[in-house]
Each structure stands twice: as C-alpha cells, then as structure tokens.
Structure 1
Amino acid sequence: MMMKSKLTTLCYIEKDNQYLMLHRVSKKNDVNKGKWIGVGGKFEENESPEECLLREVKEETGLTLTAYRFRGIVTFCFEGYPSEYMCLYTADGFQGELAGCDEGTLKWVDKDKMESLNMWKGDFIFFDLIRKDAPFFSLKLCYDRDYYLYQAVLDGKELDIGET
C-alpha cells in the first residue's frame, strides 16, 4: 500500500541573535519527543506554504509573522514511514506576545548555543546552511528505524556526514 507523503513547514524565528526554539516534551508518541525544533506543522487542505507557516506560527507561539524568508525544501526519509517534505523558513519580523504552546516549551536560545541542544543530526546541517546564508537549497535527510542519519544529499550531491 502506498503511503501519502506529508507536507509541513518549519520556521526559525530570530531576535537579538537568538532563535525561538520549541522543546518537544508535551505530546505522547511524538517522534520529536525530547528534541529541540523550530515551530511549524502540517499543511491543511488548500493551504500554500506561506499560509501554513503563518497559521502554525500563530497557533504555536501567539506571534504574527511580518517578515520571513523561504530558505529551502527538506525531504525527510524515515524507514517504514512516508516521506515528509518540509518548507524551511526563517523569520525576523513579528508582532504580538509569546504565548504558551501545547506541544512543548518555547525558549529563546542564543545562536551560539544551538549546537548544545538535543536536535536531530540533520537539523544541524540545515542550521549551518542558514547560518552561512546559503541560497535556496534542497536537502534530503535519510534516517533508519533507529533514527540514525545515514544519508544527506544537498542540491543533488551527497554530503559526507561522518560518524554519529
């Protein structure tokens, strides 16, 4: 049986040399449980990537984005699951007050402290691309059933990801 791919957005909101990060600790049966990620989520019917981004950020943070940039598309492959295609954004303009999130704890984290967070190994790859202000990119990240990153392909070229 063919499984349907997921379409999602993820955004790293920037302020004062920090990113707003979500520590996923609230949901049961969450593949991201215990991990630090940006904010975002699944597309709803007939949504564009930007509409999904704006809705998800508002739902998870209470903030309304006023300036954002589409940075790349990330293809996630997990053995035994359908592929996920994630539209990756950064944002540096927003209005409103930070609200609580039912998926975990929101926290502003210094950009130079990001590498100390418990994140997916592949997230560090696209964080580096964002940090270097890389042009729009396509990144494919493949994980096995034990969540070991075994392949990363950037713009069609395999990356040397070393040992985890």
Structure 2
Amino acid sequence: MILTTVCYMKRDNQTLMLHRIKKQDDINGGKWIGVGGKFEEGESAEDCVKREIFEETGLVAHSLKLHGFVSFPGLYYGQDEGMFVYTCDDFSGVIHECDEGVLKWIDDDKILTLPMWQGDYHFFDWIKDGRFHSAKIVYENDQVIEYQDNVY
C-alpha cells in the first residue's frame, strides 16, 4: 500500500486548493486537490504532510487536525493507496509557485463546484462534523463505485 497525506489549508472562510495542471501523466491531472503527497522513508503521517505543505506551498504548518484515513483499493496505478486527511489553520510563510499546479485560495462556499475526485467531496463533510472517519473509496473509470465510512 502506498501511504499518502492530503491537507486543506484554511484561512478566513477560504481553503487553499491546488489545480493539478502542470505535470505530464498526472493521476490527478485537471483536478483540484488539497496539498500533500507520498510518504518518504522513515516519515510519520505528520512528518509527511508538513514536508509536503512546505514543498508545495512554502508555508510552514504549526499545528494540524486529523479528520480521517481513507483507503483506495487499486487506485494508485493498480496499487492500494492509504491517505490521511488533515486541515491546518495555524501556519506561517509566503506562498510560492508550485511545480505541480496552480495554488489558489477558494471561498469555502465555492469548493464543491470545483472538479475534484468524486470521493474528495466527502472530506469537506468530515471537516465540518469534527469526528474521525475511517473510509474506503473504490473507483472505476474515475467514478466512485463503492463508499464505506465508519465514523468515530
């Protein structure tokens, strides 16, 4: 299983989103996603997400909130992916250009109008309800065919 993280940076009723339009052969190509990425050797989930936030945005995360864990069977080029879902509203720094796409602060009431992975829309419900979610999302041809969510 490939382990990954995603973080939705929050400020003033806005969320920092990454429009993935710069990389060739990008599994996320054309979609809006949070910032994050794959674990490196020896990293915890928090190490990974903080590193990815800094690499992709230039921002330094001071504290994080974990909202859940989701598994995606077979999604990552045929491999299973496990992803930790975070938010961060305590950060510092200045945003720089990202080589993976375009970073943009999006008003929270407009987030659900963006083209994202179908399953990602659920994460915004998770953020609102304040509970921990353990989910499985199965895709076929970019469409969700199964969604299981256990809430704690």
- In the superposition, the TM-score normalised over structure 2's length comes to 0.95
Which residues of structure 1 form unaligned runs of 5+? Answer: 157-164
Deviates more, 1:77-86 or 1:38-47: 77-86
Shift of 1:41: 0.5
Alignment counterpart, residue 45 of structure 1, candidates 41, 44, 49: 41
Give RMSD over aligned pairs: 1.3
Aligned equivalents of 1:95 and 1:44: distance in 2?
23
Q: How many residues align?
A: 150
Q: Give the counterpart of 2:89 among 87, 92, 97.
A: 92
Deviates more, 1:111-120 or 1:74-83: 74-83
The SS at the match of 1:121 is coil
**4+ aligned runs moved over 4 Å, structure 1:** none
TM-score under structure 1 normalisation? 0.88
1:1-164 equivalences in 2 (<5 Å): 5-78=1-74, 81-133=78-130, 135-144=131-140, 146-155=141-150
- CA shift, 1:112, in A, is 0.3
- Deviations, residues 28-52 of structure 1 (Å, cap 9, x unaligned): 1111100000000000001001100
* Residues 35 and 118 in structure 1, CA contact (< 8 A), matched pair in contact too: yes
Quick check: 2:71–2:80 contact (8 Å CA) kept in 1? yes
Unaligned runs of 5+ in 2: none
Query: Which structure shows the higher strand fraction?
Result: 2
- Taking only the aligned residue pairs, the percentage that are identical comes to 48
Question: In structure 2, the residue corresponding to 1:86 is in which secondary structure?
Answer: strand
The 8 Å contact of residues 126 and 132 in structure 2, kept in 1 or not, is answered as no
Instruction: Encode CA deviations 1:15-66: one digit per residue, 9 max, x unaligned.
Output: 0100000000011111110000000000000100110011000000000001
Tell me, in whole angstroms, the C-alpha distance in 2 between the residues paired with 1:114 and 1:131. Answer: 13
| SS class of match (1:76) | strand
Q: Is the 2:71–2:82 contact (alpha carbons within 8 Å) kept by the matching residues of 1?
A: yes
